[in-house]
Structure 1
Amino acid sequence: MSLDTVVEDIRDDARARAEEMRADGESRAEEIVSEAEADAEEIVADAEREVAQEIEQEREQRLSSAKLEAKQARLEARREALQDVHERVEAAVADIDGEEREELTRSLLDAAAAEFADADSVLVYGRAADEELLGDVLGDYDGFEYAGEYDCLGGVVVEAEGSRVRVNNTFDSVLEEVWEENLRDISERLFEER
């Protein structure tokens, strides 16, 4: 299985899980955005009442300030909603287990192993909870050994002794790549900005 296939599988899985969580995230996002918009409308209304009593220049400055504050409140609410969705996706990815976890781990290890074809000794780091899984999987790779814990959701970090090359094929790195590539679409779907 190629890295592209692995990445696509993880993307598909992340998208499916994101879709499942979208309903929860969407209602939470709507609630946060609604509250922020209500606060923003109140801020704008207050500013307009005060501005009416001042000279035109003062009125324009305060209205502009109120609109900026409202925009910042909406942006903060959206940022919080996106952060909530991201955390839920991370949790779902961390919960991948069984054969699916082994298959993904093998695929990521295969992709990394290609970088170390000539190495005599290759060190593999992974999530502490995956130590047994990695031990089983590494039995199929000559010269590869589990080197210790790496703080991640899963996957592997691989390096060869004496080499400057270090390959980070963790679930985290793949998730972040997918997240960054799809952030605009995720935001549009959560906030219906089409």
Structure 2
Amino acid sequence: MSLETVVEDIRDEARARAEEIRDEGDERAEEIIAEAEADAEEIREEREAEVEREIEQLREQRLSSAKLEAKQARLGARRDVLEEVHTEVEQAVADLEGDRREELTRALLDAAVDEFDDGATLLVHGRSEDQALIEDILTEYDGATFAGSHDCLGGVVVESEASRVRVNNTFDSVLESVWEDNLKAISDRLFDDQ
């Protein structure tokens, strides 16, 4: 065996080993590429799912926001209608006249006077337009006098000279009490809420 044959054998072995290493390297590179592609696909799928979740969350937020705005607009419109009805009721009460105004004023004065001791000197205030009516009714009460006007829709405010008691029996106070007590029923009736 000559030296050249030995050298050639070593070269062949080296080539074979180099080919083997190259093949192993190619296999490993393909594995790495396959793993990287699988990882990339997994990352892409996760990101797509995350984007879908974010889109759905944003959609839900916008839907909730739109529903809230619609509800607020509906409540604002209801509030406006209720205020308009309240204003119309106030005007109707302020416009009462004749026997009906006298009857209501008398009933409110009677209820107010009952809050004081017999014989107390009472000062009665009322709407300036009702002064003549109140003074006429007061002729039936001993110790009660008209003491000046009070800014109201009608009725009376009665106070005693001897005590700090003040009874507000104005149409306004009765209307507000009735309004507050019946606001839900009024709203239900106006807006057909069941």
TM-score normalised by L of structure 1: 0.70
Q: CA deviation at 1:179?
A: 1.0
Q: 5+ unaligned residues in a row in structure 1: which ranges?
A: 1-51
Contact kept, 8 Å, 2:122 with 2:145, in 1: the verdict is yes
- Once the two structures are superposed, the pairs formed by residues 46-85 of structure 1 within 5 Å of their partners are 55-85=55-85
Contact kept, 8 Å, 1:157 with 1:166, in 2: the verdict is yes
Query: Is residue 140 of structure 1 aligned with residue 140 of structure 2?
Result: yes
Q: CA deviation at 1:117?
A: 2.9
Query: Is residue 112 of structure 1 aligned with residue 133 of structure 2?
Result: no
CA RMSD of aligned residues (A): 1.5
Q: 5+ unaligned residues in a row in structure 2: which ranges?
A: 1-51
Equivalent-residue separation in structure 1 for 2:136 and 2:143 (angstroms)? 14
Question: For residue 18 of structure 2, what is the aligned residue in structure 1?
Answer: none
- What do the CA deviations read for 1:78-126 (whole angstroms, capped 9, x no partner)? 1101111111111111111111111111111111111223343210000
The structure showing larger relative contact order (alpha-carbon pairs under 8 Å, at least 6 residues apart) is: 1
Runs of 4+ in 1 over 6 A off after TM superposition: none
Answer with 161-170 or 113-122: which moved more.
113-122
Equivalent-residue separation in structure 2 for 1:156 and 1:190 (angstroms)? 31
TM-score normalised by L of structure 2: 0.70
- Which SS does the other structure have where 1:79 is aligned? helix
Q: CA deviation at 1:56?
A: 1.9
Change (3 A) 1:109 1:146: same
Q: CA deviation at 1:162?
A: 2.9
Equivalent-residue separation in structure 1 for 2:152 and 2:104 (angstroms)? 14
Query: Is residue 181 of structure 1 aligned with residue 163 of structure 2?
Result: no
Question: For residue 152 of structure 1, what is the aligned residue in structure 2?
Answer: 152
- Which SS does the other structure have where 1:116 is aligned? coil
**Number of paired residues?**
142
Q: CA deviation at 1:178?
A: 1.1
Contact kept, 8 Å, 2:126 with 2:155, in 1: the verdict is yes
Whichever of the two has the greater Rg, that structure is 2
Question: For residue 12 of structure 1, what is the aligned residue in structure 2?
Answer: none
Equivalent-residue separation in structure 2 for 1:77 and 1:133 (angstroms)? 40
Question: For residue 34 of structure 1, what is the aligned residue in structure 2?
Answer: none
